[in-house]
Structure 1
Amino acid sequence: MPPSQDQIIDICTVLSEQEQLNVTVKEAGKGFLIAGTGAAVGTLLGGPAGLFIGGTIGSAVAAYNCRDKCKSVVDIIRYDMTPDQQRRLAENVKVALQSFTAEDLLIVLPMVINSDPIKAAVVKEIVRFLTSEMGMAVSYT
C-alpha cells in the first residue's frame, strides 16, 4: 500500500528538521548594502578606525533588520503551505521516489532517516519544490 499524503508530509517535516532546512526571505542584498554603507561611511569619516566602527555598526543594523527573516522549512510545510501545495509536494516526492521499489519503500519508510539514498531524494525534492514552486531560498544550517 503506497504511503498517504499525510505520511509523506510527516516524512518531509522530519527530514527537514533533521537536515535543519531553513527558508530565508531574500534580504541578503539589503543586509549587504547596509553593512557596506556603514563601513564606507565609517572609513570616510574616521579612516581605519572608522572602518572598524562603521562596519560593526552597519553589520549590527543589518542583522537587526534581517531578524525573523529566516523560517524553518518544517513551519513552512506545516503552517504556511496551502492544502493544494502540500498535495503537490507529496505528489512530487512520490515521483522522486519512483526509482525505489515498493518493497524498499515499505521497509524503509518507517526508518527513512537511516536510508541515505531515499533521504537524499526526499530532501532534494523538498528543496526543489520550495525553490521552484514557491520561489523561496532554502539554506542548510
Structure 2
Amino acid sequence: MPVRTEEVIKLLCSISEEKKMKAAVKRSGRGALVTGTVAFVGGLVGGPPGIAVGGALGGLLGSWMTSGQFKPVPQILMELPPAEQQKLFHEVTAIVRHLDWTDVVQLTALVMGSEALQKQLLAMLANYVTKELRAEATPARY
C-alpha cells in the first residue's frame, strides 16, 4: 500500500505537535511600510530632523508590530498548497527510505519510536520553514 502525501504531512504534524513546534511568521513588508510612512509624516511635520525621528520611531513601531506572530507548525503544514506538501513528501521519503515499512501506520510507529528519526525530520522541517516559508521555527529542542 503506497503512502500518500497527506499521510506524510499528518506524520510531520504529529511530530511537530508533540514537540510544540511553532513558527514566527515574518511580515517584513508591513513593518517596512509602517517605518516609511512614519518617516514620511515626520518629514512633513519636522523637516529633515523629523525624518530622522520618524524613521527611528517608525522602525521601532514596525518591529514591534511584526514580532511574535507565532503559528503552530501543524497548522502551517495543513495550509500549504499541494505542490509544497509534495516537496515535503519527497524530503521525508528521502530520510526514511532506508527503513523497512509498508504503510503509514508502520512508518509512524517506526518514526515515533526513534528519537533520532524524529530529530532528523524536525531538523528537515525547521530548515524547510526557515528557507521556503521565510519564518523562524521554534523551539530549538528538536
TM-score, with structure 2 as normaliser: 0.61
Partner in structure 1 of residue 7 of structure 2: 7
Does the residue aligned with 1:134 lie in a helix, a strand or coil? coil
Matches within 5 A, 1:105-120: 107-110=106-109, 112-120=111-119
- The 2-side partners of 1:66 and 1:133 are apart by 19
Q: What's the CA shift string for 1:91-119, capped at 9, x where partnerless?
A: 1111122343447x874423532221221
Give the alignment's Cα RMSD to 1 decimal.
3.1
Q: How many residues are treated as equivalent by the alignment?
A: 108
Gaps of 5+ in 1: 31-60
Partner of 2:50: none
Matched position secondary structure for 2:23:
strand
Distance 1:108 1:18, change over 3 A: same
Matched with 1:83 is: 82
**CA 1:131–1:7 in 2, change beyond 3 Å: closer, same or farther?**
same
Name the SS for the 2:71 alignment partner: strand
Taking a change above 3 Å as real, the CA distance of residues 77 and 69 of structure 1, as seen in their structure-2 partners, is: same
| Contact 1:93/1:126 (8 A) holds in 2 | no
| CA–CA separation in structure 2 for the residues paired with 1:25 and 1:101 | 36
Aligned AA for 2:20? Q
Pairwise mapping of residues 24-103 of structure 1 onto structure 2 (< 5 A)? 24-26=24-26, 65=65, 69-79=69-79, 81-102=80-101
Partner amino acid, structure 2, of 1:15: I
Secondary structure of the residue aligned to 1:119 is: helix
SS at match of 1:93: helix
The verdict on how the C-alpha distance between 1:26 and 1:13 changes in structure 2, with shifts beyond 3 A counting, is same
SS of 1:124 mapped into structure 2:
helix
Give, in whole Å, the separation in 2 of the partners of 1:135 and 1:65.
Answer: 17
Paired residue for 2:124? 125
